[in-house]
Amino acid sequence: MTFLLESVFNGMSIGAVLLLTALGLAIVFGIMGVINLAHGELMMLGAYTTFVVQNGFRQLGEGWFDAYLLIAVPLAFGVAAGVGLLLERGVIRYLYGRPLETLLATWGVSLILQQLVRSISWQMTLQIALFCLLFFGGRWLLSKRAIAPRWQAWVRPVLLVLSVGIGLTAGFVAGGAVGLAMTKPWFGAQGVDVTAPSWLRGGVNLWGVQFPFVRLFIIALTAVCLVAIYLFLLRSQWGLRIRAVTQNRSMSACLGIPTETVDALTFALGSGLAGIAGCAISLLGSVSPNTGQNYIVEAFMVVVVGGVGKIVGSIVAALGIGFVNYVIGSGLMTRFLEPQTALFDFFEFFASTSMARVMVFILIIAFLQVRPAGLFPQKGRTVDA
Amino acid sequence: MAQQFGLGRRKFLVYGSAALGTSLLIKGCAPATQTGGGGQTPAPSGNPIKVGILHSLSGTMAISEKSVVDATQLAIEQINQAGGVLGKQIEAILEDGASDWPTFAEKATKLIDQDKVVAVFGCWTSASRKAVLPVFEAKNHMLWYPVQYEGQECSKNIFYTGAAPNQQIEPAVDWLLQNKGKKFFLVGSDYVFPRTANTIIKAQLAAKGGETVGEDYLPLGNTEVTPIITKIRNALPDGGVIFNTLNGDSNVAFFKQLQGAGLTPDKYPTMSVSIAEEEVQAIGVEYLKGHYAAWNYFMTVETPENKSFVEAFKAKFGQNRVTNDPMEAAYIAVHLWKQAVEQAGTADDLEKVRQAAIGQTFSAPEGPVKMFPNHHISKTVRIGEVGEDGLFKIVYSTPQPVDPLPWNQFVAETKGFACDWTRTDVDNPGKFKAAGA
């Protein structure tokens, strides 16, 4: 009994992390058909947001520190959703219906975000801010005036060179004048650590099973996110619009649904969920520029196994993969088998964390041979994803 | 479709070339090469002696290796201020290996061929050392390597100032057997150092009456340790020793979740071999308090040499900085090299320097060290317990420095082998069957 409870709980706690990381991806991939390879980096931004909030609260004192998660979760959602919105407006909206280009573009974005986090400093912030101010402000100012047609082609390049030049120079001058405080990266390449508030450290022992508080928190957070998404998609007006656009974009547009806004909103929602996932994983491990990379592959596995476009599928797939991962990796399979038999040796061989991953991959590949569209394939004629 | 971008091909070309031009302009203005060491003091006579420093200044290893660079530069600066080597100043040429092993090999070649350095101080991971090893052997050059490692290597062209396994891992296992219990669970990252280290530990436990109750390896960067914790609990229901060779970020996940699972250091003491002062700050003292680490040097070592080392380091790099074992080993390396050069009377004749290096002694912050004919140094072994302040309380220290054994004497494949670069009577002085073994 204890043993069963322990397996279910641990499998579920791995599954909850997988589900939380895959949820945003499932929405963006399932509803919009966009393969977002920068999803992991949006998680990373959520994790860094948690780190920053934690440091802020640490200044306030021990009593306040315990409350930082209450702010960190919504803020991580907000930051990731904001960056997701920028990403959608700046890049992805030009690429709808072209999966390969989206894939490459979001991969590029993921690399940019990783490097940005490694090297961002006050100097760099100043440079970027100055550049944006000069370039976009300049464009706005010039758009108010009439310019002779033969100069028009040169306006933007000249503006670009000028604003890049001024921005960079100002940054270097300021860096030289102020010194290390200006040029030192905020986070750097090395991982930083998020300390759990004191009420999340440790765990409780019930019926002989240890329940770590962090795991319970993540399971609860995942449940809350699921319920919120369910209510949003099925009960709210925007949810209705999102479902309508998913089913038939042109007809929805004819009926007056602002499809572009719906796209932006859906993408921001998926990104925001990534931010929450980042906040959750920062409680489990360290936060580094590569954080997202460690989760993205597993998140995609969950989405693919579950069946694209089905959130229920993602839930079942995440819990299933989590459970299999746990049972194989912890060597529980060998408990029921006679030692020195072929099957025992087989499971003994796979009973390590790295080998369990191999085994899970094999199982997924085998499964996709039988059901290529996943556990819960989309029914109907419109499916061509 | 292209019109949607609001950016035609012609415009794109114009922007592109403009942006490229600007970036080239900026690059041209930036300072070209960074040189460290004796920048401030004027050279007394002749050309400076050039040495290379090869570490990751970017990428995932950057912060760990950057602190080693700082310690190396501190040593060079101190030597320069005291008059240099053979009356000449040392000029350090700093190269970035970028946490990328092929880049390490490339930069090592550049330092040797282009910059004509007479010695290179550098590398951290075993992977980077294995990458540059063929370069140093092919060019018959000299590398000073400052980090504890898994042993099972002995190169004529490398001087190792970090611990060999018998100067860190083996004494730690002995200490645990005497003080903490006979049952061991081994946890490590899934790559060369932990697997080699655990092979050694298993052989040693088998020889000394301990028991390996289980082992597991986590892929580098993985944070899901729930299955490992279940395994530890099942294998050691009443408590026991965890020997930890995890590296990098996985340590954070491991210690955080270990605490959540209720495996506390009083019942499940953990011995780590790659967590030093800097990592304790990063992981969080509240997760590590009461656990153990084995090193040759801790910042809390009480020797007059360490006092002045820590003071000089803080004066140069800031009061909140900490010193650790690889930094100290890097500091030792520069001083041993300087002594060897002075004894040889030349920095350029590498063969003479190599011969002179053997037998050099130095009063290091960790205590006296001596360079052995196998190019490793004798080192004092210490075990520290993480305290409230994030520093280590030293709970054990060998009375004498331990002589280095690069070839492990517990593993069957290397048992009885020795390395001695002064021997001319054997075919391969790097690995030969010692007499009487």
Mean pLDDT computed over B359-382: 92
Spatial contact of A257 and A281, defined as CB atoms under 8 Å apart: no
Instruction: For residue B437, give how far its alpha carbon lies from the nearest alpha carbon of chain A (Å).
Output: 36
Q: Mean pLDDT throughout B72-99? A: 91
**Given this model, what pLDDT does residue B25 score?**
46
Residue B15 pLDDT level (bands cut at 50, 70, 90): low
CB < 8 Å to B215, chain A: 352
Read off the pLDDT band of B146 (50, 70, 90): very high
Interface-testing mutation among A301, A353, A355, with chain B (most B C-beta atoms within 10 A): A353
Averaged confidence pLDDT in chain B: 84
Q: What is the mean pLDDT of residues A192-211?
A: 79
pLDDT at residue A338, rounded to an integer: 67
B309 vs A157, residue with greater confidence: B309
Give the whole-number percent of chain B exceeding pLDDT 70.
88
Rounded Cα distance between A27 and A82, Å, is: 16
Strand partners, B272: B244, B293
Give me the amino acid identity at B366: E
* Chain B hits for A190, Cβ within 8 Å: 60, 62-64, 282
**Structure-token pair, residue A93:** 């909206």
Residue found under tokens 């959130």: A311
CB–CB contact A286 B249 (8 Å): yes
Question: pLDDT category, B29, cuts 50, 70, 90?
Answer: very low
What's the whole-number mean pLDDT along residues A48-55?
89
* CA gap B360, B372 in Å, rounded: 8
CA distance B100 to chain A (A): 14
Token pair of A360 as six digits: 């899970």
Residue among B361, B362, B367 nearest B382 (CA): B367
Residue A148 has pLDDT above 80, yes or no: no
pLDDT value at residue B63: 66
**Among B362, B401, B406, B364, which Cα is nearest to B381's?**
B401
Which of A17, A160, A193 lies at the smallest CB-CB distance from B18? A160
Q: Is B2 exposed, middle or buried (0-12, 13-18, 19+ CB in 10 A)?
A: exposed
Q: What is the CA angle B160-B248-A295, rounded to 5?
A: 145
- Enumerate the residues of chain A whose CB falls inside 8 A of the CB of residue B219: 353-354, 357
Question: Predicted confidence band at B36 (pLDDT cuts at 50, 70, 90)?
Answer: very low
Task: Give 3-state DSSP helix, strand, coil % of chain B, rounded to 5.
Answer: 40, 20, 40
- Report yes or no: B282 at the A interface, CB cutoff 8 Å: yes
Q: What is the pLDDT of residue B24?
A: 46
Any idea what DSSP says for residue B378?
-
* C-beta atoms of B227 and A293 within 8 A: no
pLDDT digits (tens, 9 = 90+) for A264-286: 999 999 999 999 999 998 888 77
Per-residue pLDDT, B436: 57
For the packed helices A259-282 and A237-247, what is the interaxial angle rounded to 10 degrees? 110
CB-CB neighbors (< 8 A) of A127 in chain B: none
Considering only the beta carbons, identify the residue of B5, B21, B227 that sits closest to A329.
Answer: B227
Sign of CA dihedral A9, A15, A17, A20: negative
Contact (CB<8Å) B216/A353: yes
Is B38's pLDDT higher than 60?
no
Interface size A-B, in CB pairs within 8 Å, comes to 149
For tokens 């949810």, what's the residue? A239
Residue B437 near residue B415 (C-beta atoms within 8 A): yes
DSSP three-state, residue B250: helix
Alpha carbon A161 to its chain centroid, in Å, reads 34
Task: Please tell me the distance from the alpha carbon of residue A19 to that of residue B119, in angstroms, as a whole number.
Answer: 52
pTM for the predicted model, two decimal places: 0.78
When CB atoms are compared, the residue of B26, B63, B282 closest to A193 is B282
Averaged pLDDT, B116-140: 92
pLDDT exceeding 70 applies to what percent of chain A? 94
Is residue B72 within 8 Å of residue B331, measured between CB atoms? yes
Q: Which of A105-109, A220-224, B289-293, B433-437 has the lowest mean pLDDT?
A: B433-437
> A373 exposed, middle or buried (CB, 10 Å; 0-12, 13-18, 19+)?
middle
Distance CA A321, CA A356 (A): 11
ipTM metric: 0.79
CB contact (8 A) between residue A330 and residue B230? yes
Which two structure tokens, joined as six digits, stand for B142?
Answer: 């000299």
Structure tokens that stand for A174 in this block: 């300021």
The per-residue pLDDT for range A4-41, each reduced to its tens digit, is 788 888 888 888 888 988 888 888 887 778 888 889 89
More confident call, B76 vs B19: B76
Mean per-residue pLDDT, A86-101: 86
pLDDT at residue number A189: 66
d(CA A108, CA B107): 27
pLDDT of residue B105 exceeding 90, the answer is: yes
